[in-house]
Structure 1
Amino acid sequence: MSPLNTSNPLALQALMSETIFDIDFQSPSIDDASFEIRPIQTESEIVLKTYGGNNKNILFVISDNSNEFLSADAEIAFMKILKALKLALEDIVVLNHNEPDKGLTFGKVKEKLNPKNCIFLGAEPQLLGIEGCAENILKIQDDIQFLYSYSFEEMLRDTEKKRLFWDAIKLMSL
């Protein structure tokens, strides 16, 4: 191991815990420093862009790359479904998870939104780390009800898919 030699006061302060006395000490300027001070980087906080009030902690996760949240037709259908479930927009929250490489996990979503019910509409639950969700089959894990079903666009085109979704969501205690 070679000896460590420096006269930089910042480096000495970081390396030594005892008081040092030096005769004929010439302090180098900060510009002459041979090292860089880097701030400790912390994990950046994830900002979730959501739609709705989340008063009843009911989370709808969609995946729509062409719209911020829902297309006009999908939004009309969504409002009809909410009304039939006796819910309002203030009761639920919609999260458009259209960036799978964002590093978003269900744990982070749970921290921010605290969902009691989570309905995936066309969005793959695996992208948030939720495994074992079968289509239109209610799953309960950690006191959270999960339902994975079709996207609104699929349900608008196929009434059978809409019926399967409706039968499944009625089983949830919303």
Structure 2
Amino acid sequence: MIAQVHGYCLAGGTELATACDVVYVADDAQIGYPPVRLMSPPDMQYHPWLVGMRRAMELMLTGDAMSGREAADWGYATRSFPLAELEAKTLDFAERAAKVPIELQQLNKRSVHRAMEIMGARAAIRAGTEIQALAFTTEASKAYMAGFRRDGGSVKAQLDQRDTTFGDYRTKKE
């Protein structure tokens, strides 16, 4: 599976991209998990595996975004390109990968997945879902989630509340 990311790739979008085998991004894409600010960590604990402990800490403790270029440099994304080249580069890769017989591609993918499992990635992802479930029991998370009901279901108001303190994403002053 190949992800082609441009614009904003936030929260669940990052998890969808993470689930792909190859992730090509636009240099100026914004990739992050802002729900850590008032709700929970991701249910798919990919940060330490892809970007390393120190950068994972930075991203998880702030909910800040990384650019597409940073995502590629840090290991979250496979490659980054100027937006005008992104689609062509993604299709070029897909065409090259399609030349390998499918039964060999399955084994090629499995070899990488097994190596990650040996290093503990599967156990870490499972543990992450338990931590996310615990996060939803915190007072901060419950209060934030109650706001969706209290404010008439205004997703915009809740996201503005989450991001105004940080001055980014939808609340960024240009």
Q: TM-score, normalised by structure 1?
A: 0.23
More helix by share: 2
Report the structure number with the largest CA radius of gyration: 1
Q: TM-score, normalised by structure 2?
A: 0.23
